[in-house]
Amino acid sequence: MELGINLSFALKRWPEPERWASIVREDLGLELVQFTFDLLDPWWPQRERRIMAERVRRAAADAGITIHSAQLGLAWYTYNGLLHPDPAGRQIARQWWQRAAETAAEIGAPAAGGPLGALSAADAADPTTRDERYAAMLEEAVIASEVAAAAGLQALLIEPTPLPREIPHTIAGAQQLVADLRGRTAVPIRWVLDVGHALYRPLYGNDVSLEDWLLPLHDDIGLIHLQNHDFQSDAHWGWPDDRGVYDVASFVRTVRQASLADVPIVIELFYPFEMADDAVLASVHTTVRHCREGLADGAIAPDV
């Protein structure tokens, strides 16, 4: 199984591409990253964005790092995206997905994406509006796939989130979305499944399991986000963490039993901005070591 890391750990602290590339390759011993638009915003003016994107592309290539994809992070997730209640907001989101595809191509990533958007509380409370927003979002996803294809990308990533105002947030909703988009997109849709999202008990109940997600979405899963959490929050902690209880070896066994051992596993960590840099780096190190050990344990000791 292939292990990589999302660059969310590097925000503000190690934004220089050569620096995060060195941490990833030399310190952590990894060869796979998921780039985050939190290091390079698709909104930024094209001229400067291209200079910075080229530096990303070169640093990854020089270090022998593969960029799996580019995913939205804190910055764009702050807004309502393709489900914005204002038509101007939705028009803006369409432009974001175009710019995101271009930026992904500029750094040499073959795919881009993330969560699609969030309804406002008012829109979510009105079934007619919710249906309209969903239908319009499908059209926007098709358009996003077309601009992705035009930029030379090979896939569009969509990540379910555990929020009732976001789409999709259930297994059935994800299956519906795949069915509604089947045959209509210019590049394939690939799911990004996050273990902290998928197993969020306040929404899905105490009995939810990762298998519940892996089996029905199986054929379209492109990436799995691995994070430590407590089943009660979208925590994105590392290992060890007193608050987190998520078991990596068991996760690995589940993924293997679902015949998904060929799907890349990408660790995604977020730390408070005020946390000391050394403490963050130490946590990233112990997390990667723990996940690597969990991958090994899960591979040799199946508990079927």
The residue ranges that bind a copy of itself (CB under 8 A) are: 11-16, 19, 38, 41, 43-45, 48-49, 51-52, 55, 73-80, 84-86, 88-89, 91-92, 95, 118, 120-122, 161-163, 165, 200, 202-203, 233-234, 272-274, 276-277
**CB 162, min distance to a copy of itself, A:** 6
- Give every CB contact of residue 90 below 8 A, 6+ residues apart in sequence: 82, 83, 84, 136, 140
Q: How far apart are the first and last CA of the chain?
A: 19
**CB 202, min distance to a copy of itself, A:** 8
Closer residue to a copy of itself in complex, CB, 160/298: 160
Closer residue to a copy of itself in complex, CB, 38/140: 38
Q: Is the link from the previous residue into 168 a cis peptide, with omega within 30 of 0? A: yes
Closer residue to a copy of itself in complex, CB, 234/241: 234
Closer residue to a copy of itself in complex, CB, 41/212: 41
SS3 for 190? strand
**CB 124, min distance to a copy of itself, A:** 8
> Which helix or strand (DSSP H or E) is residue 189 part of?
strand 189-194
Residues 23, 14: contact at Cβ < 8 Å?
yes
**CB 121, min distance to a copy of itself, A:** 5
**CB 81, min distance to a copy of itself, A:** 9
**CB 44, min distance to a copy of itself, A:** 5
Tokens 């292939």 sit on residue: 2
Closest CA to 267 of 244, 298, 237, 232: 237
- Give every CB contact of residue 32 below 8 A, 6+ residues apart in sequence: 2, 3, 4, 5, 65, 66, 68, 264, 266
- How far is 67 from 50, CA to CA, in rounded Å? 17
Q: Tell me, what DSSP letter sits at residue 32? A: E
Closer residue to a copy of itself in complex, CB, 92/215: 92
- Give every CB contact of residue 144 below 8 A, 6+ residues apart in sequence: 94, 97, 98, 101, 113, 156
Q: What is the largest CA-CA distance in the chain?
A: 54
Closer residue to a copy of itself in complex, CB, 68/84: 84
- E strand segments, 132-188: 155-158
Count Cα atoms within 13 angstroms, Cβ side, for 252: 21
- How far is 165 from 180, CA to CA, in rounded Å? 19
Closer residue to a copy of itself in complex, CB, 43/178: 43
**CB 258, min distance to a copy of itself, A:** 25
Closer residue to a copy of itself in complex, CB, 44/134: 44
Q: Which amino acid would we find at residue 157?
A: L
**CB 194, min distance to a copy of itself, A:** 12
